[in-house]
Amino acid sequence: MRYVFITGTTGGLGASLLGAFRDDRIISITRRKVQTDIGLYREFHVDFLDEGTLEEEIMDIFGSIDPDAGDEIFLINNAGAVGPVKSVENMDAKGYLDNYKVNVLAPALFIKGFIRAFKPLDAQKKILTVSSGAALSPMEGWAAYCTSKAAVNMLSGVTRAETADFNPPVLSSTFRPGVIDTGMQKTIRESDPKEFPNIDKFKNYKSEDRLLDPDFVASILKEIIASDDFAEVANYDIADYM
């Protein structure tokens, strides 16, 4: 049996991940009800901006399955937010905090809950956190986003260091999915050009049909996390699969 915990499945890459794992037992964690014809095994609703409630619900979420030895359990930290898109000069504290709650704190709490719930179980336990090229390359207007994705790279790195001696193992890596045709790209194209000087580059990605299909990206993510040598690479990049 394979259990797959996926965050942010209301649209974009997360909705495509539902399709990719449709034959498995999917536990979806979102702030809104998911509109899908795919049978969800369990569904939890929590706004990641409400970190107190998220922290309270984490063990209920991971305690909602009863896996056996030999099962596979995946956690895919997919939910994310690009905004606020503002220069460092104009960004306020709430803007940073809201972004970090969704992009950094929520994945950290999910990883904690996953380890606590399943550490002793003799199952295949794998965590893949969706990162971004923005973790490695500065982009004007994306101070919150770039720093948040750099943070999850390090969050996964620390997790790897702390779990290296676990027996049975808990494996963790990150994934840079490329530029995908999702709601997040629409948000980017609708940014204030004064705050986001690169806006034309992203408008051109769309008009020139250069955005990746989220179903394709989901299929690559599945290939990576399901592989027998998962986590031999610390930070996966979709460019290596195209």
* Catalytic positions: 145
From candidates 75, 180, 199, 231, binder to ligand NAP by CB under 6 A: 180
- Cβ atoms of 77 and 29 within 8 Å: the answer is no
**What would the two tokens of residue 173 be?**
């890596």
Contacts of 198 (CB under 8 A, 6+ apart): 139, 140, 141
Query: Does 132 participate in binding ligand NAP (rule CB under 6 A)?
Result: yes
Measured from the CB atom, the residue of 121 and 211 that comes closer to ligand NAP is 211
Q: How far apart are CA 186 and CA 101, in angstroms?
A: 22
Whole-number minimum distance, CB 199 to ligand NAP, in Å? 14
- In sign, the C-alpha dihedral spanning 221, 227, 231, 233 is negative
- Establish if 119 lies at the interface with ligand NAP (CB under 6 A): no
Which run of H or E residues covers position 156? helix 143-163
Binding characters for ligand NAP, 19-48, by CB under 6 A (x = yes): -----------xxx--------------xx
Q: How far is the CB of 4 from ligand NAP (least distance, A)?
A: 15
Question: Which of the stretches 59-67, 77-85, 88-96, 164-172 binds ligand NAP when contact is defined by CB under 6 A?
Answer: 77-85
3-class secondary-structure state, position 233: coil
197 upstream amide cis, omega within 30 of 0: no
CB of 118 to ligand NAP, least distance (A): 22
Q: Which residues contact 151 (CB under 8 A, 6 or more apart)?
A: 100, 103, 104
**Phi then psi dihedrals of residue 177, to 5 deg:** -90, 5
Q: In this chain, which stretch among 10-18, 64-72, 160-168, 193-201 interacts with ligand NAP, using CB under 6 A?
A: 10-18
Which position among 4, 6, 14, 26 is part of the footprint of ligand NAP (CB under 6 A)? 14
Query: In this chain, which of 80, 83, 113, 141 binds ligand NAP, going by CB under 6 A?
Result: 80
- Which residues here bind ligand NAP, judged by CB under 6 A? 8-14, 30-32, 47-49, 78-81, 102, 130, 132, 177, 179-180, 182-185
